[in-house]
Amino acid sequence: MTTLDILLNVLVSGVLFGSIYAVVALGLAITFGILHIPNIAHPALVIMGGYFVVQANRLGIDPLIAAALGIIPFYLLGMLLYTFYANSFERRGRAEVLQSLTLFFGLSLVIEIFLVLLFGSELQSVSAPYIGTSLKFGQIAIPGRLLVPALLGPVTIGLLWLYFKYTNSGTAIRAVAHDERALSIAGLDPAAVKRRAFGLATATAVIGGTALVLIGPIDPFGGRFQIGRVFAIVVLAGMGSIPGTLVVAIMLGIAESLVSSYLNPAWSPGVAFAILLAALALRPQGLFGAAR
Amino acid sequence: MTRDSKIFLIAAVAVLLAGLLAPHVLKNPFYFFAGYVILQYVVIATGWNILGGYAGYINFGAAGFFGAGAYASAFLFNTFGIPLLGGLVAACLIGALLGVLMGYLTLRIQGVYFAIATLGLVIILETIIHNIPALGGARGIVVYGPPPPAWAAGPSQYMFFLMLLIAVASVSLARWMQISWVGRGLRAVRASENAAECSGVPTLRLKLLACAASGAVLAAAGAPYPFYTSFVEPVTVFSLLIGLNAIAMPLIGGTRTWLGPVIGALLMASTQQIATITISSELNILFVGIVLIAFVALAPNGILGLVARRSRETPR
Amino acid sequence: MITRRNFNRLAAVAASSIAMPSVLAGRAFGQDTPIRFGASISLTGALSGTKNGQIGYELWRDDVNASGGLLGRQVELVLLDDQSSASNIPAIYSALADVEKCDVLFGPYGASLTAPVMPFIKQRDLFMIGMFPLAANEKARHDKFFHSAAWGPNSGTDWARGFFDLAKSVGVKRVAILANDLEFSKNAAVGGAKVAEEYSMEIVFNQSYPPNTSDFSSILRNISAANPDAVFVGSYPADSTAIIHGIREIGLPDSVQIFGGAMIGPQYGSLLSSLGPELNGVVNSHLFAPEPTMQTPEIKKFFDRYVPIAEKQGVDPLGYYVPPFYYVAGQLAAAAITGAGSLDQAAMAAWLHGNTVETIVGPAAFNDIGDWTKRRVLMVQIQNVKGNDLAQFREPGHQVILDPPELKSGEFIHPYNKARAS
């Protein structure tokens, strides 16, 4: 295997992992990026989505179909969560950052323990025909357990982008981020729009969970390791930019892959944050965001 | 000195004296082991609140400072034989330095962004420790401290008293910062940073001061840890649980005054200590989660906020 | 079962310890009160995979009580959960000794949780059986500490020596070492590197990776590029799975004679059955395998009782790695108490130093710091696995013992790629 082959392989796995990071970060790009709700429970919801898929898979349902089945219940769950959040905060006035962060921190603990009590703390995995196969292009091998979840990224993001761009309710969600009052003048209830957006974000958690559980086994606490990375992606992408999320996630995936391959894998967890800190210091509005 | 300050001084001395006398009354060492952990959280909550409560900058990275303090004292003792007191001073300096670095971050980033950046601090520090063989990496460092001095009843009693000293010092610092010009300035920063800047409050200097003090106190909480457990490893000292408790305890007690974090830490940490030996730890974490949600949703200003509201509502 | 205590007890102890001097409030004497054995177990957190050890303790307690107890007294367990966190350990052991008034202590699981207890038992001069910590007593050198696991002397470097003995026997010159950035794996890697150097093997690759790494393709390519003859891996269950997946996808060069060493995971039923034939060829450390050279009626009886309980609790259905040694811990303590004829900690330790104990895993004798005098860490090669059926791992011939030589139960298949295909 030549140096070029190795480099190509490194880049390919960077792109694959980047796309997977993007699906995991997507929900946060909506809640935090558009609604400005710092939902740090999102990674825990993603793991919960993974558990949903695991349970469906036990009944013989393919993980991808299970993901599709999970969208509606998770959408409803998200609406419920938003209602609780809004009742606790927004009706009382301005939601303080500290308090909403803490609320979601508490929520993620409750979700984790809920999973432990229901399913135990052991690793859970799924089986599917494409896990264990791999596609080969010359010297580049792409395992199915990475390719399938990596494809979920662009597909989900593409669909969401179309939704935001070309449907009325999608436009309303984008509008609520900019000017709530204008929205209510136009006869729409901002709270309902936000509730829908939060539901949508939570629905993406089940897709993110599918992606994670396809790569390898998950446990109830797996979300904790994602918190940092997903926030880094959303902030770097520039709040609320959905296509930006994919681009930044892939860049991050490549950076981590390069570090782990050419420097030492032990340094890779710091990569996302080192980039984030540098970027925050130099360009706080993110790479794809408008200046604040 | 105001009347309140006199009362505080008397109370602080009384607490220290009680701590000195406690081993002669309480014979069971378990109380000192458990008490150490509770006091450690009093220090952590107090340190966090200097920045988070007074200035409104949310630091998710309390564990980073705690871990830096723990590693500083463990390394200095194991490599150069520097005793805990020296380690404590070094930990404070390192904590303050990290705090100042974090303070400069606040120049560019505020709000949630700042909170996330501090989360990164923990991960970066942990990654660095993993990659420095002299600090033991993931294998951790075993620390066999010297036996306690003769006047102490035993190692746990000695560690307890030491932590009590740190706690009293931290709370005094927090109280001074709250009632002095620093606290007034920080409250202005919290209310509106721009307005404060415009009306001549030296916001950057104040924030740097708050960050340094907060960092030093958080690191001081970690410095005795290697001597308490005899073992330091990255997973435990950079644990998310420390960061979580650092936020939860002030929030439950009340973030506006020095007393809030103390009350929150005493309540939550003792509940957790009792829970450890009575109920399963899953339920323990679930309890923390539910308490957090309940307080945020129902009593956003903590226990002290509830008390204040109650006393306002009761006609005199 | 006393894992969940109530507040009343704590309150009562609080009251009594204030009211009277500790000497009077101390251990309850008398023939009718049970002997209390205290231990911390990791019911939650990173080490919760070891919680099936509790079944080992409980089976031992039931056996002792069924046969009339110890010194004519019944036996009682006091188990507390340490959440896998070292910071909880000092308070927990103080609670066991001072609040629960336990007569005999067992250690928590593993080296990072045991380190905090060592100064405590040394200062109080207490007897303790340690549970799986590598080289736990080499610094404290406490003369009342004994290992239940057969790591052997000088375990920090030597426990995985069997892997390198096998490597040497097939002419390995170039070694690659890969480890998870967690305590046990890193210790294994450091010890492995020392032995490799001692055998004048060249270390051509030596890296660690962060916990929660889920893709090893680039790491495996770098290992392949270094062209090693042996790959020594220290990993935890999730990454063990990912590494095996990665090998299936990327492969390893034909030069590799032996692969494995210190992977946690292939000892457990869930991982064995989920990976199935993909594990063929892996040479890995273990403490028990159901091979003819190790199988005895006693241990068989233990597993016959363990399995139904484990299946009900949803813990490891095989239980070869952890649970028997928790039973052994009980046996060691019981032998020491019976031998000493009392609960005197010094007499118990002295008896255990002077005698060999017959346990369900074979005879155990100890050196001056409580290591088993003889290392009995197995190097097991996984062979002839077909399909994902768990039952085959209860049969001999699938976890073939290659080392130590006196327990050898089959032939070492090498190179690794040949063994994988078998």
Give contacts of B25 with chain C, Cβ < 8 Å: 18
B partners (3+ CB pairs within 8 A) are A, C
Nearest by CB: C218 against A121, A219, A260: A260
Minimal Cα distance from A224: which residue of C?
C212
| pLDDT attached to residue C197 | 94
Alpha carbons B246 and B264: distance in angstroms, whole number: 10
Reported as type and span, the H/E element at residue C221 is helix C217-226
Best-predicted range by mean pLDDT among A2-11, A199-208, C307-316? A199-208
Shortest alpha-carbon distance between residue B66 and chain C (Å): 13
* Mean pLDDT taken over chain A: 84
Q: Tens digits of per-residue pLDDT, A16-69?
A: 999 999 999 999 999 888 888 888 899 999 999 999 999 999 898 999 999 999
| pLDDT attached to residue A286 | 61
Structure confidence at residue B9 as a pLDDT band (50, 70, 90):
very high
Cβ–Cβ of C48/A216 closer than 8 Å? no
Nearest by CB: C237 against A123, A132, A141: A123
* Mean pLDDT taken over chain C: 88
Structure confidence at residue A95 as a pLDDT band (50, 70, 90):
low
**Torsion, CA C288, CA C289, CA C295, CA C298, rounded to 10:** 40
Structure confidence at residue C15 as a pLDDT band (50, 70, 90):
very low
What percent of chain C is modeled with pLDDT above 70?
Answer: 93
Cβ–Cβ of B289/A106 closer than 8 Å? yes
Shortest alpha-carbon distance between residue B109 and chain A (Å): 7
Cβ–Cβ of A109/B58 closer than 8 Å? no
Asked if C377 contacts C150 with a C-beta cutoff of 8 angstroms, the reply is yes
| pLDDT attached to residue B280 | 62
Where are the domains positioned within chain A?
3-282
Cβ–Cβ of C210/B281 closer than 8 Å? no
Residue C22 has pLDDT above 50, yes or no: no
| pLDDT attached to residue C290 | 93
Q: From residue B100, how far is each of A159, B265, C202 by CA, in Å?
A: 45, 25, 46
Where are the domains positioned within chain B?
3-239
Give contacts of B142 with chain C, Cβ < 8 Å: 115, 139
Give contacts of B286 with chain C, Cβ < 8 Å: none
Query: Which domains are delineated in chain C?
Result: 7-155+303-364 (3.40.50.2300), 156-291+376-421 (3.40.50.2300)
Shortest alpha-carbon distance between residue C314 and chain A (Å): 8
A116 vs A276, more confident: A116
Shortest alpha-carbon distance between residue C221 and chain A (Å): 7
Bridge partners for C366 per DSSP: C372
**Partner A contacted by C222 (CB < 8 A):** yes
Q: Residue C357 in 3-state DSSP?
A: strand
Minimal Cα distance from C224: which residue of A?
A1
| pLDDT attached to residue C5 | 43
Best-predicted range by mean pLDDT among A70-84, A216-230, A268-282? A70-84
Cβ–Cβ of B138/C92 closer than 8 Å? no
Q: Tens digits of per-residue pLDDT, A210-243?
A: 999 998 888 888 887 788 788 888 888 876 678 8
Give contacts of A117 with chain B, Cβ < 8 Å: 282
Residue C108 has pLDDT above 80, yes or no: yes
Give contacts of A257 with chain C, Cβ < 8 Å: 218
**Partner B contacted by C115 (CB < 8 A):** yes
Cβ–Cβ of B230/C25 closer than 8 Å? no
The mean pLDDT value for C200-212 works out to 90
| pLDDT attached to residue A216 | 83
| pLDDT attached to residue C19 | 40
The mean pLDDT value for C51-70 works out to 94
Residue B276 has pLDDT above 50, yes or no: yes
Q: From residue C282, how far is each of A140, B279, C103, C383 by CA, in Å?
A: 25, 41, 43, 8
User: What DSSP state is assigned to residue B78?
Assistant: H
| pLDDT attached to residue C106 | 97
Q: Tens digits of per-residue pLDDT, C361-407?
A: 989 999 999 999 989 999 999 999 998 889 999 999 999 999 899 99
**Partner A contacted by B101 (CB < 8 A):** no
The angle at the Cα of A272, spanning A268 to A278, to the nearest 5 degrees, equals: 120
C partners (3+ CB pairs within 8 A) are A, B
Q: Number of A to B CB contacts under 8 A, please give it.
A: 119
Alpha carbons A77 and A83: distance in angstroms, whole number: 10
Q: Which of B277, B280, B287, B288 to mutate to test the interface with C (most CBs of C within 10 A)?
A: B277
Cβ–Cβ of A109/B119 closer than 8 Å? no
Give contacts of C209 with chain A, Cβ < 8 Å: 260, 265-266, 268
Which residue's entry shows tokens 């990327």?
C250
**Partner A contacted by C212 (CB < 8 A):** yes
Q: Tens digits of per-residue pLDDT, C111-134?
A: 889 999 998 999 899 999 999 998
Asked if B119 contacts A231 with a C-beta cutoff of 8 angstroms, the reply is yes
Cβ–Cβ of C314/A146 closer than 8 Å? no
**Partner B contacted by C42 (CB < 8 A):** no
C174 vs C8, more confident: C174
Residue A138 has pLDDT above 50, yes or no: yes
Give contacts of C211 with chain A, Cβ < 8 Å: 225
Structure confidence at residue B117 as a pLDDT band (50, 70, 90):
confident
Residues 248-277 of B with CB under 8 A from A: 248, 251, 255
Q: What burial class does residue C357 get, using C-beta atoms within 10 Å of its C-beta: 0-12 exposed, 13-18 middle, 19+ buried?
A: buried
A225 vs B7, more confident: B7
**Partner B contacted by C124 (CB < 8 A):** no
Asked if C294 contacts C288 with a C-beta cutoff of 8 angstroms, the reply is yes
Structure confidence at residue B279 as a pLDDT band (50, 70, 90):
low
The mean pLDDT value for C93-105 works out to 93
Structure confidence at residue C13 as a pLDDT band (50, 70, 90):
very low
* Mean pLDDT taken over chain B: 87
The mean pLDDT value for B205-227 works out to 94
Cβ–Cβ of C241/A1 closer than 8 Å? no
Where helices occur in chain B by DSSP H, the ranges are 3-25, 30-52, 62-80, 84-108, 111-130, 155-179, 181-191, 193-198, 203-222, 225-229, 234-237, 240-253, 259-276, 281-298, 302-313
Cβ–Cβ of B276/C99 closer than 8 Å? no
Alpha carbons B63 and B245: distance in angstroms, whole number: 10
CATH no. of A3-282: 1.10.3470
Q: Tens digits of per-residue pLDDT, B11-49?
A: 999 999 998 888 888 888 889 999 999 999 999 999 999
| pLDDT attached to residue C11 | 46
User: What DSSP state is assigned to residue A239?
Assistant: T
Q: Minimum mean pLDDT among B169-183, B271-285, C184-198, C289-303: which range?
A: B271-285
Q: Which of B139, B159, B241, B288 to mutate to test the interface with C (most CBs of C within 10 A)?
A: B139
Cβ–Cβ of A98/B124 closer than 8 Å? no
Give contacts of B221 with chain C, Cβ < 8 Å: none
Nearest by CB: C44 against B137, B274, B281: B281
Give contacts of A87 with chain B, Cβ < 8 Å: 297
The mean pLDDT value for B149-162 works out to 89
pTM: 0.86
What number of other Cβ atoms are within 10 A of residue C8's Cβ? 8
Residue A131 has pLDDT above 50, yes or no: yes
Cβ–Cβ of B25/C89 closer than 8 Å? no
| pLDDT attached to residue A223 | 80
**Partner B contacted by C85 (CB < 8 A):** yes
| pLDDT attached to residue A288 | 61
| pLDDT attached to residue C6 | 45
Alpha carbons A11 and B167: distance in angstroms, whole number: 51
Shortest alpha-carbon distance between residue A115 and chain C (Å): 13
What residue type is assigned to position B66 of the chain? Answer: F
| pLDDT attached to residue C160 | 87
Nearest by CB: C18 against B25, B233, B239: B25
Q: Tens digits of per-residue pLDDT, A245-264?
A: 999 999 999 998 888 888 87
Nearest to C250 by CA among B101, A5, A108: A5
Q: What burial class does residue A165 get, using C-beta atoms within 10 Å of its C-beta: 0-12 exposed, 13-18 middle, 19+ buried?
A: exposed
Nearest by CB: B130 against C85, C87, C181: C181
Q: Residue C80 in 3-state DSSP?
A: strand
Give contacts of A88 with chain B, Cβ < 8 Å: 296-297
Minimal Cα distance from B154: which residue of C?
C123
